[in-house]
Chain A
Amino acid sequence: MAMRAVLFVDDDAIMLRSLERGFQDEQFDKHFAGSGEEALEILRREEVHVLVTDMCMCEMSGAELIRIVKREYPDIVSIMHSGYAPTDELRRAIHREKIFKFVCKTVTLEEDLKQVVRQAVDHYDLQSQHEKVLAKSEWLG
């Protein structure tokens, strides 16, 4: 199986560096973007399977980025990583955009965030296997 890739997006450089340090030993490729535009640029040239984005960013919000990603790369599993507590509006966005998980920035790295990202990678694998089985069954009639 090809190596999976995770894209982390946050406009806070210190948080992005902390994520880089925290995830350096994980068994997947890592990409880091400081804005939504930079993330879209990376998505154009790299194959990404999981997206972890901050919600509140200066130019393009995390919700906006996820909306574009869902439209252009529907297989990517998205995780919202935010300093805000989930509001009703956010909950609706989570359901509408089929966001895999909402993770608050105050969670622990080892027990929470890393677990959620690993689950998202597994979810991507399951999803692609499911699609392959479906395609095969359709072909068989």
Chain B
Amino acid sequence: MREIQSQRVQNAKMISIGQLAAGVAHELNTPIGSVGYDFSSLKSYVTKTKNLLQMCGELVEEIDTAEASESLNKADAVGNRCGTTAVEVVYEASGNGPAESPITCGPYSILSSRSM
């Protein structure tokens, strides 16, 4: 009789320990799961960012730097010509005659040529 009672107590203890362990496991599994999912999302963000950077690199490589530089020089020359013509027209109109020194484009250039 005493043995049966002792076994019952033992069983009740085991059940309590089991329930406690399940509760602890649940409390741990939820944050562990959450961290695991976030790491997975982070991994996917990193892969996406890496792919985007790679695409940017490929686009930069596609730009022909020599061609771009030549186009910029041409654009600069055209700009200068326009500026010079415009200033010469202004001088002619004001009756000051042609500019004394070569005039280059830009407000600073015009000022310096006037002061000369």
Residues of A within 8 A of B (CB): 12, 14-15, 18-19, 21-22, 24-25, 56, 82-85, 87, 104-110, 113
Separation in Å of the A104 CB from the closest CB of chain B? 7
Q: Which 5 A-B pairs have the closest CB atoms?
A: A105-B33, A83-B29, A109-B40, A83-B26, A18-B37
Q: Which residues of A contact B41 (CB under 8 A)?
A: 18, 21-22, 24, 109
Is the CB–CB distance between B29 and A104 below 8 Å? Answer: yes
**Could you list which residues of chain B lie within 8 angstroms of chain A, going by C-beta atoms?**
22, 25-38, 40-41, 44
Is the Cβ of A15 less than 8 Å from the Cβ of B30? yes
Contact of A106 among B22, B32, B38, B40 (CB under 8 A): B32
Residue pair A22, B37 in contact (C-beta under 8 Å): yes
Shortest distance from the beta carbon of B62 to any chain A beta carbon, whole Å = 28
> Cβ of A109: which chain B residues have Cβ within 8 Å of it?
36-37, 40-41
Nearest Cβ on chain B to A34's Cβ, whole angstroms: 14
Apart from A104-B33, A109-B37: 7 A-B pairs, beta carbons within 8 A: A12-B34, A14-B34, A15-B34, A15-B37, A24-B41, A105-B33, A106-B33
